[in-house]
Amino acid sequence: MSDHAQVNGQTIAHTVTGNGPPVLLLHGFPQNQAMWHAIAPKLADDFTVVTADLRGYGASSKPERMEDMSFRQMAADQVALMAHLGFDRFHLIGHDRGARTAHRLVLDTPETVMSLTLMDIVPTHLLLDDLTQDVARAYYHWFFLAQPAPFPETLIGHDPDAYFENCLAGWGGGMDGFDSVALGAYRAAWRYPDCIRAMCNDYRAAIDVDFALDAQDLDRTVNVPALVLFGADGVMGKAYDVAGTWANRLDNMQSTAVPGGHFFPDTHPDATVHALLDFLKSE
């Protein structure tokens, strides 16, 4: 059952299951912690698994200011949440925006992270600073959502299901494989106007706040054990040497492709669990 913690000035919805070393799972856009429905129970046989809704998403609070949706703020929430739960150090796994939050978290508070897993992203600064036509076409939402309010909010609000399901299908290779219960949880959240606003602010903050923060940290590396996973058929896997984009940022890295597109944790959970357990049990 999901619980709520008051941390870092926010209400963060989360769920704790299992026993063993702590693992924090962070979802991406346009989802929430329901994306881990088929993964968390299998990890919980060996780990204490915490799934959380990022601020602005799911059942967590929705700050109004754009600046409050930066990855730095999202990361601070999750460090505070884990401390609230009694975990000063933990394994950290993120997908999409959750992975970008995870990268910022380990840069800001490296002492809290036992291992880092990044799913289907290239570094934020690299993507924005060296944008290719193919990526710009596929990931147009970075720039649509970042338009001044209330333009994207108004258009999305006309039919949130149509817009966000187009995102799921477009980057995930269709809607086959998405669990109906998880889809119900996604829809319930993204139909909420404050959630739409917060998600737009997430993308505004990536350009207006996070890009500059990442520029300051271009020479910094992460030395905790790291796993980079990417969808074999996804946009990132086709457009980039994903592992190569992280080679000068992660000192102790391994990487592997997982079947499926961007949303492989939803559509190929067993392959995702296999890759995660191989890595986590080796640490």
Which member of 14, 125, 262, 268 is catalytic? Answer: 262
Token pair, residue 265, equals 């944790």
Residue 202 annotated among the catalytic residues of the structure: no
β strands within the chain, DSSP E: 3-7, 10-18, 22-26, 48-52, 90-95, 113-119, 222-231, 250-258
Phi-psi region of 96 (alpha: psi -120 to 50; beta: other; left: phi over 0): left
The residues, ordered by sequence, that sit 6+ positions from 216 with a Cβ below 8 Å of its Cβ are none
Token pair, residue 6, equals 């008051």
Pick from 27, 204, 212, 195: nearest CA to 121: 27
Phi-psi region of 192 (alpha: psi -120 to 50; beta: other; left: phi over 0): beta
Q: Quote the Cα angle for 44-48-50, to 5°.
A: 95
Residue 154 CA to residue 193 CA, distance in Å, equals 9
Residue 37 annotated among the catalytic residues of the structure: no
Which member of 53, 96, 202, 266 is catalytic? Answer: 96
Catalytically active residues are: 96, 262
